[in-house]
Amino acid sequence: MNDNAHDSNAVPDEPVPPSLQGDIERILFPRRRIAARIRALAGRIGGDFGDRPMMLAAIMTGSLIFVADLIRHLPLRMRIHLFGLSSYAGAATESDGARMLGQRGAEFAGKHVLIIDDILDSGRTLAATVEACRLAGAESIRTCVLLRKPPARRKPGGLDQVDYVGFDVPDVWVVGYGLDYGDYYRNLPDIAVLKKKC
Ligand code: 5GP
Ligand code: MG
């Protein structure tokens, strides 16, 4: 868990595609390191869930690649729900929970839910998602993020305690491996910091 987020030797195993290279300041986590961390996370999650069927709830679009890789290391009986929200600012309410889950809400009742997001920042997206699953009658709810920003980033009403974390990152804007800037860079195979533009 004590992965060094500031590793200046973090070079990608393969070069960053030239079309994406110009905007990248540095690579935080190269693809091979991400893959190793995901295998370790999957081992823990698999052990914790055991033979309980899982409802995996992934917050789109940032968790797209993380989820795709993680589930292939999770030999559990599972169903998948995709939350189609890119960010969620407000406090959770009953109607918000219903809206977030829509018609699929009933499928969460009595289920062991694992919520997955790309990155924990203010914590509000995860707080709202947890609340939606709780209102839908989930039996148990666990949370998992690939990346976690420093605790000072958390805002009132935000979730702070996450069950599974891939890497801690500094307070910078990260892209790649599903994470975007203006909807670009999601296809970068490594996790990187963007250059600051004036
Ligand atoms: P929170 O609700 O915790 O403030 O924000 C979580 C959401 O904000 C994430 O799902 C992600 O979409 C977005 N986000 C926060 N920080 C970053 C970042 O550094 N890079 C990218 N690409 N998205 C971020
Ligand atoms: Mg997101």
Read off the CATH number of the domain in which 125 is found: 3.40.50.2020
44 found inside a domain: no
Between CA 104 and CA 99 the distance in angstroms is 10
SS3 assignment, position 151: helix
The closest of 120, 124, 130 to 167, measured between CA atoms, is 120
Ligand 1: nearest atom to the Cα of 153: 4
- Determine the structural domain holding residue 165 and report its residue range: 22-37+49-86+98-194
Centre of ligand 1 from the C-alpha of residue 50, in Å: 30
- Between CA 25 and CA 14 the distance in angstroms is 16
pLDDT band at 87; cut points 50, 70, 90: very low
In a domain, 13, yes or no: no
The pLDDT value given to residue 15: 77
Considering the domain boundaries, does residue 11 fall inside one?
no
Whether 66 is in a domain gets the answer yes
What's the pLDDT band for 97 if we cut at 50, 70, 90?
low
d(CA 192, CA 1): 19
Which among 64, 121, 144, 186 is the best mutation to test ligand 1's pocket, defined by most ligand atoms within 8 Å of the CB?
121
Residue 8 located in a structural domain? no
Token digits for 76? 């559990």
Q: Is 140 helix (H, G, I), strand (E, B) or coil?
A: strand
Cβ-contact 25, 83 below 8 angstroms: no
Indicate whether 118 pLDDT > 90.
yes
The pLDDT of 38-56, averaged and rounded, is 95
CA-based R_g, the chain, Å: 17
Beta strands at 174-175 and 164-168: parallel, antiparallel or unpaired: unpaired
Number of domains in the chain: 1
Whether 80 is in a domain gets the answer: yes
pLDDT tier, 198 (very low <50, low <70, confident <90, very high otherwise): very low
Question: On the CB side of 155, how many CA atoms lie within 13 Å of its CA?
Answer: 13
Nearest to 27 by CA among 47, 11, 49, 41: 11
Let me know if residue 16 belongs to a domain.
no
Banded model confidence at residue 61, pLDDT cuts 50, 70, 90: very high
Point out the ligand 1 atom lying closest to the alpha carbon of residue 185: 22
Mean pLDDT rounded to a whole number for the chain = 86
Structure confidence at residue 17 as a pLDDT band (50, 70, 90): confident
Q: What percent of the chain has pLDDT over 90?
A: 72
- Calculate how far, in angstroms, residue 119's C-alpha sits from the geometric centre of ligand 1: 5
Given a cut of 70, whether residue 88 has pLDDT beyond it is no
The pLDDT value given to residue 107:
86
Residue 7 falls within a domain, yes or no? no
pLDDT value at residue 172: 94
Distance CA 176, CA 96 (A): 30
